[in-house]
A and B are shown apart, each in its own frame.
Chain A
Amino acid sequence: MANPKPEELTQIDYQPGRKDWMNPAVEFRKGVFCYSAAPKNLRYLGLPNPREWQPFDKDWKLPADWKRTILEGMRERLRKFRSFRLFMDICVRCGACADKCHFYIGSGDPKNMPVLRAELIRSVYRRYFTTAGRVLGRLAGARELTEDVLKEWFYYFYQCTECRRCSVFCPYGIDTAEVTMIVRELLNLVGCNINWVVEPAANCFRTGNHLGIQPHGFKDSIDFAVDELEEITGIRVEAPINRKGAEILFVVPSADYFATPHYFTLLGYLMLLHEAGLDYTFSAYASEGGNFGLFQSHEMMKRLNAKIYAEARRLGVKWILGGECGHMWRVIHQYMDTLNGPADFLEVPVSPVTGTRFEHARSTKMVHICEFTSDLIRHGKLRLDPSRNNRWNVTFHDSCNPARAMGLLEEPRYILRNVCKNFHEMPENTIREQTFCCGSGAGLGTDENFEMRMRGGLPRANAVKYVRDKFGVNLVACVCAIDKATLPTLFEYWVPGMEVAGVHELVGNALLMKGERERTGDLRGEPFQEKEASTHA
């Protein structure tokens, strides 16, 4: 039952086997796949084929006409998505994307090369939707859709974190994440989903957040944070919930108020928003910024996302501010307005403190908190003492979605340079648009998937190790809830001793609040280092 040791995992053979990849063969070995979705969650969401089953079962209890359902689903999506059709047609198999995927780098499994991942469905596309494939079959790279092929899809498309790194390098911008999104939709049609995606979606649909926290629980955890902040700073901040007439609705990923180290980021937000004097409210109904619908289907994404605009309208706010979360921002930046807009009942976001109009968000009307905070700092509206973060030597991990589906690169870096004194970048090929995934995104961050997560996270962890050894970095800052949840495990495995924090935790540490009591320690309760140093001197 013991997990494999790091030395074992790095014995990677990149030599592809001799067998033709067209023969489907997967082994659902412990540690490299996620468990199936519980039927109650499928039922709650009204999704097809709820049943008890596991990927390692021989019989997947597929519906009798599963094959027709999948092929019909493909036909429909080929018609609806230019991306899908084009990506099925134009790959030249140049292999430029091959070693760009963290799962391939960490596993050496040739089917984790983005090009082959996509070929798993492209071969089926050729068989049923192209003349050459229908006539020439295997010679044209076409193969039948069989149950084994479906199992292979399940295995490999739940071994892609939709990080889009491959699409940066592909000469045609073929985005395997897009292919993965479509295949997961298809798998959904016959009830082949994983619980770690469907359960959060079901929770979110019902209670408003992935963790299934009910309104009173939400209120309790926010109150708890307010109490704790009072202890730390001597200031009692306001953190209203469901308050009508506030200027701004603030939406954060639910992990921020229920998990560590996210929680320290929440403290940071609360301090910042108090200090900026923002007239805002949380919502218990829209108490989740994240959206696990993204990892399941475009439809589910829309169903979950709908509550944000609906709540903004009900509460009568002017615009929306969003917390630190990676995939949440993919949905908000690239999908929300299209899915559930137009947000014509809101106003173009304007910072009440600096007067800055966030023109770039004039249609969606939602601003990233890093955009908001960096604007405050730029205008000198915050008093910051970066030496309060002296115990940290910081690097920044770009999360996949803010980097490659948005371009939020400089805002967090600008903040970090202003709130801490020691900051070092990781190597160029591992940051910004070339950043490496945590290995656990897109719903794959489960305990049972441990080995594959560690493999997928190897490139990220390895770059962190590099800056630890070279510059003495001891903290990885990031703006993603999934990172905060999964990087600590990853680093414990590959780079022991490395800590993880949200950018706004470091803001909270450095922020000098008006009327604060003399602070001796940071948000984690650790003493400030300079103070220690001076008593020793």
Chain B
Amino acid sequence: MKALSSLALVVALAALAFFLGRVEPLRVVLGVIIPYVAIAIFLAGVSYKVIVWSLSPVPFRIPTSCGQQKSLSWIKAGWLENPHSTPGVVARMALEVLLFRSLFRNTKAELREGPRLIYGERRFLWLGALAFHWSFLVIFVRHLRFFIEPVPRLVMVLDRLDSFFQVGIPLLYITDVTIVAALLYLLLRRLRDPQVRYISLFADYFALFLILGLALSGVWMRYFARIDVVAVKQLAIGLVTFSPIVPREVTSLFLVHLILLSTLLAYFPFSKLMHMGGIFLSPTRNLANNNRRKRHVNPWDYPVPVHPYQEWEAEFHDKIAAAGLPLEK
């Protein structure tokens, strides 16, 4: 149900853009106004969220230690899995962000006859997640060729690498295949794995369908509809130079792509997609496990009622004396 309704929502969005995109006076709304609004929401929303997070204090240092602590000199410390200093933390975070280190640990618990519990390796989620995110990043960078003139070298190099196999006309991008495949895998997993299906919300399907729609509309434009790239570039550069135009040659298929992107941007700050910012701030990962070496201060620390020694001694005075233990009074 949730999957179907979120699919329906994405399809409706696309259809709306497709048909409205043929109505001349609305083309400016779809091609200029909505994208600007979406970008504004994205920037404001993401900054707001990140600021709120950053301003909220970290009262305690609570890293999850996944390796040996640094203690005695002759015991090898797990500098990466249980970092005790900044370089270790930076390396640990880099591994998390770039390679999804923790997800790589994934196992699958299975209860067999006996009873015997087996923990098998389960790396598909990691692989699918990595394929999706890296493809997304590469595609994002490749898109810069529409916005910057002359096209930066890095973008051109990436473009060439991505079409390394030199098949098809226009050349097939590897990431176009991998992102669609990865998204389909993630979707299928959400639908097929009973546990994951059970925990999934409307928003979880929506994010996947939305990005899938974005990717598929892009693929359609490039390989099948063969849209007018020069016109698209005019529109894109117009947007970033604040002199927007919607050239006649821009088809409503492109406007579908643009509206799905705008939806993604506007939706981003209010959704779980904020994990992009959150991962950097996670206190179980981005703090060094040097708790006993360096004092961590809680900014909102406050005095609490305690039971001081004097009161304790007064209460048990006679018993302490009878037991022959030393007394203050």
Q: Which residues of A are at the interface with B, using a C-beta cutoff of 8 A? A: 10, 12, 14-16, 21, 46, 78-83, 85-86, 89-96, 98-100, 105, 110, 113, 115-116, 119, 130-132, 139-141, 164, 167-175, 178, 205-208, 214-216, 219-220, 241-244, 284-285, 298-299, 302-303, 306-307, 310-311, 314, 332-335, 337-339, 341-342, 356, 358-364, 366, 371, 374-375, 378, 403-411, 414, 427, 429-430, 432-434, 458-459, 462-463, 466
Contact = CB atoms under 8 A, between A and B. Distances in A.
Contacts of B324: 219
B223 interface: no
A207 B309 CA distance: 10
24 contacts: A14-B111, A16-B197, A16-B198, A83-B62, A86-B283, A90-B282, A94-B129, A98-B199, A105-B109, A169-B106, A169-B107, A173-B102, A174-B282, A178-B284, A298-B60, A307-B309, A334-B60, A339-B301, A341-B295, A359-B293, A362-B292, A374-B72, A378-B74, A403-B65
B113 to A, nearest CB: 9
A99 B109 contact: yes
Interface stretch (B142-150, B153-161, B173-181, B314-322): B314-322
Contacts of A99: 107-109, 195
Nearest to B201: A141
A242 B326 contact: yes
B200 A93 contact: yes
Given A78-B56, A171-B100, A216 B320 contact: yes
Query: Looking at chain B's contact residues, is the secondary structure mostly helix, strand, loop, or mixed?
Result: loop
Nearest to A314: B309
B67 interface: yes
Nearest to A337: B295
A104 to B, nearest CB: 8
A86 B53 contact: yes
A362 B201 contact: no
B116 A462 contact: yes
B102 A458 contact: no
A89 B274 contact: yes
Nearest to A283: B309
Given A83-B58, A92-B272, A170 B316 contact: no
B199 A95 contact: yes
A187 to B, nearest CB: 19
A302 B304 contact: yes
A459 B117 contact: yes
Contacts of B111: 10, 12, 14, 105
A303 B308 CA distance: 10
Contact of A86 (B57, B270, B281): B281
A86 B107 contact: no
A429 B110 CA distance: 13
Interface string B89-117: 00000001000101101111101000111
A90 B325 contact: no
B291 interface: yes
Given A285-B312, A410-B75, A429-B119, A206 B307 contact: yes
Interface residues of B, number: 96
A96 B106 contact: yes
B263 interface: no
Contact of B195 (A95, A216, A366): A95
A427 B285 CA distance: 26
Query: Looking at chain A's contact residues, is the secondary structure mostly helix, strand, loop, or mixed?
Result: helix
A433 B65 contact: yes
Given A113-B199, A338-B295, A363-B293, A175 B275 contact: no
A213 B309 CA distance: 16
B198 A164 contact: no
A260 B60 CA distance: 34
Given A83-B58, A410-B75, 11 more contacts: A83-B62, A98-B196, A110-B195, A110-B198, A173-B64, A310-B309, A337-B292, A342-B295, A356-B72, A360-B71, A429-B119
Interface in B245-294: 270-272, 274-275, 278-279, 281-285, 289-294
Closest A-B pairs by Cβ, 9 of them = A407-B69, A90-B278, A173-B284, A407-B65, A364-B292, A216-B323, A429-B119, A16-B198, A173-B285
Given A311-B309, A338-B298, A82 B53 contact: yes
Contact of A131 (B57, B270, B320, B322): B270
A373 to B, nearest CB: 11
Task: With a 10 A CB-CB cut-off, give which of A110, A169, A303, A341 has the most chain B CB atoms.
Answer: A169
Interface in B160-207: 193-204
A85 B282 CA distance: 10
